[in-house]
């Protein structure tokens, strides 16, 4: 599974400068790589347990985003993708929020 979080300044005219923040986090199935091949031995699996998301459990993620002091509005979007194979991921959840700031 892959979580992508982005923040964009929609008032910015240049599309290349719109993105102000981007972060991704990846969770792996224990003992299987993104191509569904067994790549790890038992001793290695113990070391990567912190990169896994246990079945039927929820994990909260928190990101600190810093914006310029003149930023008035930001669109924050989070997307969660599930990869059955290493090549094609399906978006299983998405949320988009617009945040407004009072600039004095």
Each residue of 57-102: pLDDT tens digit? 777 889 999 888 888 899 999 999 887 766 778 899 999 999 998 8
pLDDT at 86: 63
What's the domain count of the chain?
A: 1
On whether the pTM is more than 0.75, the answer is no
Between 69 and 47, whose confidence is greater? 69
3-state class (DSSP) for residue 17: helix
3-state class (DSSP) for residue 49: helix
- Domain of residue 46 covers 2-100
Rounded Cα gap, residues 50 and 65, in angstroms: 24
Q: Is 44's pLDDT higher than 80?
A: no
Residue 32 confidence class, pLDDT cut points 50, 70, 90: low
């Amino acid at each position: 599974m892959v979580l992508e979080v982005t923040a964009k300044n929609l008032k910015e005219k240049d599309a290349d400068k719109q993105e102000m923040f981007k972060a991704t986090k990846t969770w792996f199935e224990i003992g299987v790589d993104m191509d569904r091949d067994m790549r790890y031995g038992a001793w290695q699996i113990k070391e990567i347990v912190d990169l896994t998301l246990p079945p039927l459990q929820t994990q909260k993620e928190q990101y600190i985003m810093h914006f310029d002091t003149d930023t008035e509005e930001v669109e924050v979007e989070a997307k969660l993708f599930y990869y059955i194979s290493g090549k094609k991921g399906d978006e299983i959840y998405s949320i988009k929020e617009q945040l407004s700031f009072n600039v004095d």
